[in-house]
Amino acid sequence: MIHSISLEFMIIGLLGIGSQWLSWRFRMPAIVVMSIVGLFAGPILGLMNPEQDFGDLYSPIISIAVAIILFEGSLNLDIKDIKGLGKPVFRISTFGAAISWLLGSLAAHYVAGLSLTVSFVIGALFIVTGPTVILPLLRQSKLKPRPAKILKWEGIIVDPLGALLAVFALEVIVFFAEDGGHIGSLLVFCLASLFAVVIGVLCGKGIGWMFEHGYIPEFLKSPVVFTTVIACFTIADEIMHETGLLAVTAMGMTLANMGISSIRDMRHFKENLSILLISAIFVMLTASLTRETLMEIFNVKIIGFVLLMLFVVRPLSIFLSTIRTDLSTAEKLLVGWIAPRGIVALTVSGYFASVLLDEGYQDAAIITSLTFALVFFTVCTHGFSIGWLAKKLNLAAEDQPGVIMVGSNIFTKALAETFDDLDIPSIIVDSSWQRLGIARNAGIHVYHGEILSEQTEYRLDMTPYDYLISASDFDSYNALVCTTFVPEFGRSNVFKLPVQLDDEREVKDLVNTIGGRFLFSDRSSLESLFSRIDSGYVFRKTTITEQYTYNQYLDERGQDTTVLFILKESGEIDFLTNESNPKAAAGDIVVSLTPPSKEFHKILAKLEEQREEKDK
The CATH number of the domain holding residue 534 is 3.40.50.720
Nearest to 396 by CA among 336, 334, 448: 334
All residues at 6 or more sequence positions from 614 whose CB lies less than 8 Å from its CB, including other chains: none
Question: Residue 170 is part of a domain; what is its CATH number?
Answer: 1.20.1530.20
In a domain, 584, yes or no: yes
Cα pseudo-dihedral 192, 193, 194, 198, rounded to 10: 90
With a CB cutoff of 8 Å and minimum separation 6, the contacts of 167 are 189, 240, 241, 242, 243
> Does the residue 397 lie in any domain?
no
Let me know whether 411 and 372 are in one domain: no
**CA 271 to chain centroid:** 9
Q: Which of 360, 392, 424 is the last residue of a domain?
A: 392
Range of the domain at 523: 402-611
Q: Does one domain contain both 332 and 480? A: no
Same structural domain for residues 306 and 258?
yes
> Nearest-5° angle of CA 515, CA 521, CA 527?
80
Q: For residues 178 and 359, what is the distance between their CA atoms, to the nearest angstrom?
A: 10
Q: Which amino acid is at 195?
A: F
Alpha-carbon span 174 to 168, nearest angstrom:
10
Any domain includes 596: yes
CA 128, 19, 482, 146 dihedral sign is negative
Strands 562-567 and 589-594: antiparallel
- One-letter amino acid at 429 equals V
pLDDT at 268: 63
In the sheet with 562-567, reading across from the earlier edge strand, the strands are: 538-543, 589-594, 562-567, 573-575
CB 196 within 8 A of CB 250: yes
Same domain, 305 and 412: no
- Give the H/E segment covering residue 542: strand 538-543
Q: Which residues contact 275 (CB under 8 A, 6 or more apart)?
A: 20
Q: Report how far residue 166's alpha carbon sits from residue 559's, in angstroms, rounded to the nearest whole number.
A: 72
Q: How many of the other CB atoms lie within 10 Å of CB of 128?
A: 28
CA–CA distance, 383 with 378 (Å, rounded to integer): 8
Domain co-membership, 475 together with 580? yes
Task: Write out residues in the chain with pLDDT < 70, as ranges.
Answer: 1, 76-77, 80-84, 130-132, 139, 171, 173-183, 185-186, 242, 261-271, 398-399, 454-455, 458, 501-515, 521-523, 597-610, 613-616
Distance of alpha carbon 89 from alpha carbon 71, whole angstroms: 19
Angle at 318 between CA 313 and CA 321, to 5 degrees: 115
Through-space distance between the first and last CA atoms of the chain, rounded to whole angstroms:
96
| Same domain membership, residue 410 and residue 382 | no
| Residue 291 in domain | yes
At 446 the three-state DSSP class reads: strand
Which pLDDT score, from 0 to 100, does residue 251 have? 92
Same domain, 441 and 335: no
What is the SS3 assignment for 539? strand
Within a domain: residue 128?
yes
- Indicate the residue among 353, 369, 392 that finishes a domain: 392
Confidence (pLDDT) at 177: 59
Phi, psi of 577 (to 5 degrees): -130, 180
Look at residues 392, 417, 448 and tell me which one is the last residue of a structural domain. Answer: 392
Regarding whether 127 and 87 lie in a shared domain, the answer is yes
Q: What is the pLDDT of residue 599?
A: 47
Q: Kindly state the DSSP code that residue 57 receives in the 8-state scheme.
A: G
| Same domain (yes/no): 452, 534 | yes
Q: CA-CA distance, 363 to 118, in Å (whole number)?
A: 8
Spatial contact of 524 and 537, defined as CB atoms under 8 Å apart: no
pTM score of the predicted model: 0.69
Across-strand partners of 448? 430
- For 523, what's the count of Cα atoms within 13 Å in the CB-facing half-sphere? 10
Based on the structure, what is the number of domains in the chain?
Answer: 2
- The span from the CA of 490 to the CA of 520, in Å, is 18
User: Is residue 296 domain-resident?
Assistant: yes
Q: What is the bridge-based pairing of β-strands 589-594 and 573-575?
A: unpaired
For residue 383, tell me if it sits in a domain: yes
Residues 495 and 542 in one domain: yes
Give me the residues paired with residue 496 across strands.
470, 518
* Any domain includes 616: no
Phi then psi dihedrals of residue 554, to 5 deg: -65, -35
Q: How far apart are the C-alpha atoms of 315 and 588, rounded to whole Å?
A: 43
The 3-state DSSP class for residue 192 equals helix
Instruction: Give the strand order in the sheet containing 402-406.
Output: 446-448, 426-430, 402-406, 465-470, 494-496, 517-518
Whose CA is closest to 191, among 229, 164, 158, 166? 164
| 385 and 433 inside one domain | no
Check residue 260 and give its pLDDT: 75
Q: Are residues 250 and 336 in the same domain?
A: yes
Question: How many helices and strands (H and E) does the chain possess?
Answer: 27, 10
468: closest CA among 507, 500, 431, 426? 426
392 CB-near residues (< 8 Å, 6+ apart) = none
